[in-house]
């Protein structure tokens, strides 16, 4: 499904990171761990195509999307990748339902996988432990934990092939983190989707099939 080979990144302050090879198939759950500043978010941004590749190749089902034009890359991302941002990137004045629906706004492919938008949004929020009565509530009125779940539902809507999650549990306590991860892993489609999550919290490793520790590659 996804191969990221020979990736390197040179920071403006002179630091260079040579990343390990990343390979993941549908149904797999990969955790990229390491201390803050070791390059976790940089690696995820490279895989997402949000940062320009300086070395190496990234292929999805054999397609090298790292060489695509900006226009084609935007369409590719919208069709195949659901991204859970560390800062969530929710629109505060929009409702829960409206924020989740943004997940398929720019992808005809993902839209085609949703037969009934309202029913699918209700299914996702229910699976993630959100109250359906909150669907029409502006997300600015939700707790951080609830907002995290809205961001996950937006990423999962339309079943993109790959879920990328950047420190989604960073603002949650230990008990809430465990509940949150259990809900996420139960909700994503293990037959058709893969998930790559980055986190500094090594205690969440049991939720994943494979763990890549970037501390080993940061010198």
Q: pTM of this prediction?
A: 0.92
6-12 long-range contacts (CB < 8 A, ≥24 apart) are 6/55, 6/56, 6/57, 7/43, 7/46, 7/53, 7/55, 7/56, 7/58, 8/54, 8/55, 8/56, 9/39, 9/42, 9/43, 9/46, 9/51, 9/54, 10/54
Residue 219 has pLDDT above 60, yes or no: no
Query: Which among 87, 105, 103 has a CA at the least distance from the CA of 153?
Result: 103
47-74 tens-digit pLDDT: 999 998 899 999 999 999 888 998 999 9
Statement: residue 142 has pLDDT above 70: yes
What is residue 218's predicted lDDT score, i.e. its pLDDT?
A: 66
Domains of the chain: 2-217 (3.40.50.300)
Chain segment 68-127, per-residue pLDDT in tens: 998 999 999 999 999 998 888 999 999 999 999 999 999 999 999 999 999 999 999 998
The pLDDT of residue 87 is: 85
Token digits of residue 143 = 């707790």
């Amino acid at each position: 499904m996804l191969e990221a080979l020979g990736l390197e990144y040179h920071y403006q302050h002179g630091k260079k990171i040579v990343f390990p090879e990343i390979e993941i198939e549908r149904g797999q759950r990969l955790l990229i761990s390491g201390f803050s500043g070791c390059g976790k978010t940089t690696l995820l941004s490279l895989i997402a195509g949000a940062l320009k590749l300086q070395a190496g190749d990234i292929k999805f089902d054999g397609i090298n999307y790292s060489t695509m034009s900006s226009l084609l890359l935007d369409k590719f991302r919208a069709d195949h990748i659901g991204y859970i941002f560390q800062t969530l990137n929710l629109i505060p004045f929009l409702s829960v339902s409206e924020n989740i629906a943004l997940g398929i706004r720019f992808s005809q492919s993902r839209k085609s996988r949703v037969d009934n938008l309202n029913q699918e949004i209700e299914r996702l929020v229910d699976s993630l432990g959100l109250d359906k009565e909150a669907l029409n509530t502006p997300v600015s009125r939700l707790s951080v934990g609830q907002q995290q779940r809205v961001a996950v539902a937006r990423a999962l809507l339309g079943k993109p092939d790959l879920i990328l999650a950047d420190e989604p549990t960073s603002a949650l306590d230990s008990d809430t983190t465990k509940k949150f991860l259990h809900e996420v892993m139960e909700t994503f489609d293990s037959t058709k989707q893969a998930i790559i999550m980055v986190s500094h919290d090594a205690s969440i490793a049991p939720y994943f099939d494979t763990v890549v520790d970037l501390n080993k590659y940061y010198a």
